[in-house]
A and B are shown apart, each in its own frame.
Chain A
Amino acid sequence: MKCSRCEKKAVYSGQGQNYCKSHFLEYFESKVTKTISRYELIKKEDKVCVATSGGKDSLAVLYMTNLYCEKYKIEIFALAIDEGIKGYRDHTLDDLKIFCKKYDVKLHIVSFKEKFGDTLDNIKDKAITDFNKKPCTVCGIFRRTLLNRSARELGATKLVTGHNLDDEAQSFMMNTLLGNMSHNASLGPITGLADNDKFVARVKPLYFMLEKETRLFALLKGFKVEFAECPNIDLSFRMTVRDEINTIESKLPGAKNGIVNSYLEILPLLKDHYREKKQNRTFNYCKSCGDACSGAICNSCKLEEELQLVKKVRK
């Protein structure tokens, strides 16, 4: 099959168009740049922190954000969280270090061991057996906390993540299936409802890119991305939803776009509805770490206490 725009052989087919390598790269870069501009994800006065892991999504978003920031002379750095998952994160971090050196992006690495006193590998067994908590729950809470806290401490005004269209479709379906509609109000290209200086706004330049497109982009650009799947993912509800959506997509191409576009139509209503509910509530600040939270103590500190980790003095 030939490219819809030239005589070269197509490497990708989507939404009725076929793309050769160079036209695919052009399509990808153009769509990501338009997403950044259309939703004003990054502004000239921003200091941008890109949350990275070294996987295909984060390398693609780091490359694209760096391209955008270079063009508009916006300050940018990369931030990685080392959860301490042997045989997984150590490999992706090695790829990330090489990438950041090549593209001259400053990289900060913050670890669970340094900030919470232990690695996820050591925490997870205790979490499952003693507290009935899945590794993904522990990892998710600690990662979110460290990303926000470290980005803020490093002076960032925007936290860029590599979430793509597949991630968003999965999150929306997961929240809907679990009846957590209020969580859906916090999705979208710019995440979070809270306007509080303790939170760094999270933005998603790959919001409209399929996971397949992102992997292909990384492959065609020659980024060193080896297949790496978290060893804990078997326990994740997300994996079930991911596989089901992929099955639907293969029978009904465009279904993922359909889910996300339908979600974006109702997003303003969800934001209004839950913002009204939240307006009557004032923020609390965690007694332990000082971060904004809804209770007396934030989820991360609560979890730390539960898991009885060695608490390090935070700078």
Chain B
Amino acid sequence: MKIYIEKDDKSLDIKIKKIKDFDGKKLLEKLKINPSSIILVKNDEVILEDEILTEKDYIKILSVVSGG
């Protein structure tokens, strides 16, 4: 699964085939990202954390914090 993390301007490719019911919450736990500071986008659609993700999905993790 391809992932783009906006805050770090970083792209990742992770394998999730063996993990059952891999959802947005599990992804954020795996990446140690606080859900209250991001918005999840799956294939250009905003999703909630309970959405099941698959290997074919392209996930964007948008940061809600900005400014200074």
Chain A positions near chain B (C-beta within 8 angstroms): 1, 10-13, 18, 21, 53, 55-57, 88, 136, 139, 211-212, 214-216, 219-220, 225, 227-230, 232-233, 236, 242-243, 246-247, 249-250, 253
Q: Complex: how many Å from CA A253 to CA B46?
A: 20
Q: B37 touching A55 by the CB < 8 A rule?
A: no
Q: Which of A18, A55, A139, A243 contacts B66 (CB 8 A)?
A: A55
Q: Complex: how many Å from CA A214 to CA B62?
A: 13
B40 nearest in chain A by CB position: A11
* Residues of chain A within 8 A of B65, CB atoms compared: 211, 229, 242
Q: With A212-B37, A250-B34, A250-B35 known to touch, is A10 a contact of B48 (CB < 8 Å)?
A: yes
B67 nearest in chain A by CB position: A55
Q: B68 touching A211 by the CB < 8 A rule?
A: no
**How extensive is the interface on chain B, given as a class?**
20 to 34
Q: Complex: how many Å from CA A220 to CA B44?
A: 11
Q: A229 touching B66 by the CB < 8 A rule?
A: yes
Q: A247 touching B34 by the CB < 8 A rule?
A: yes
Inter-chain contact total with CB atoms closer than 8 Å: 73
Q: B36 touching A246 by the CB < 8 A rule?
A: yes
Q: A232 touching B68 by the CB < 8 A rule?
A: yes
* Residues of chain B within 8 A of A212, CB atoms compared: 36-39, 64
A139 nearest in chain B by CB position: B68
* Residues of chain B within 8 A of A211, CB atoms compared: 64-65
A255 nearest in chain B by CB position: B36
* Residues of chain A within 8 A of B63, CB atoms compared: 215, 227, 229
Q: With A11-B48, A246-B34, A250-B35 known to touch, is A219 a contact of B66 (CB < 8 Å)?
A: no
B7 nearest in chain A by CB position: A227
Q: Is B47 an interface residue (CB 8 A)?
A: yes
Q: A57 touching B67 by the CB < 8 A rule?
A: yes
Q: Distance in Å from the Cβ of B3 to the closest Cβ of chain A? A: 15
Q: Which of B7, B46, B67 contacts A53 (CB 8 A)?
A: B67
Q: Is B21 an interface residue (CB 8 A)?
A: no
